[in-house]
């Protein structure tokens, strides 16, 4: 694949209002919702694509999510695992809604 990125982005807005944990996204939304962005332009423009998993020319996975799941070698699966973990975290923090946005 070499150099490709999988554009799944996340921004959490905890219901408590005591902060937010933006994993990949940065587009403002309403409090108490987890926004899942699947539009690469939104993710790249708001967070510089820092959390995306991508492969270098040798096929090595790069990105902060890749380091969390070092035994998984499929970039798309790594992003899905990160999404699952973020949704679990958001539910624990009192998030009431999960909103999927984007066209990818």
pTM of the model: 0.53
Question: Would you give the DSSP letter of residue 69?
Answer: S
CA proximity to 65, closest of 3, 6, 2, 1:
6
The whole-number pLDDT of residue 40 equals 52
85: pLDDT strictly greater than 80: yes
- CA–CA dist 33, 2 (Å, integer): 34
Residues in the chain: 104
What confidence tens digit (pLDDT) does each residue in 10-23 have? 444 444 333 333 33
Handedness of CA 40, 44, 47, 53 (dihedral sign): positive
Domains in the chain: boundaries: 9-101
Say if CB 95 and CB 15 are below 8 A apart. yes
């Amino acid at each position: 694949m070499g150099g490709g990125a999988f554009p799944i982005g996340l921004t959490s807005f905890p219901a408590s209002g005591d902060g937010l944990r933006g994993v990949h996204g940065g587009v403002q939304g309403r409090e108490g919702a987890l926004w899942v962005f699947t539009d690469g332009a939104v993710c790249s423009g708001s967070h510089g694509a820092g959390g995306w998993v991508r492969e270098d020319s040798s096929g090595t996975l790069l990105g902060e999510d890749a380091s969390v799941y070092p035994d998984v070698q499929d970039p798309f699966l790594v992003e899905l695992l990160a999404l699952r973990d973020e949704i679990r975290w958001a539910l624990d923090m009192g998030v009431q809604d999960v909103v999927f946005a984007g066209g990818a």
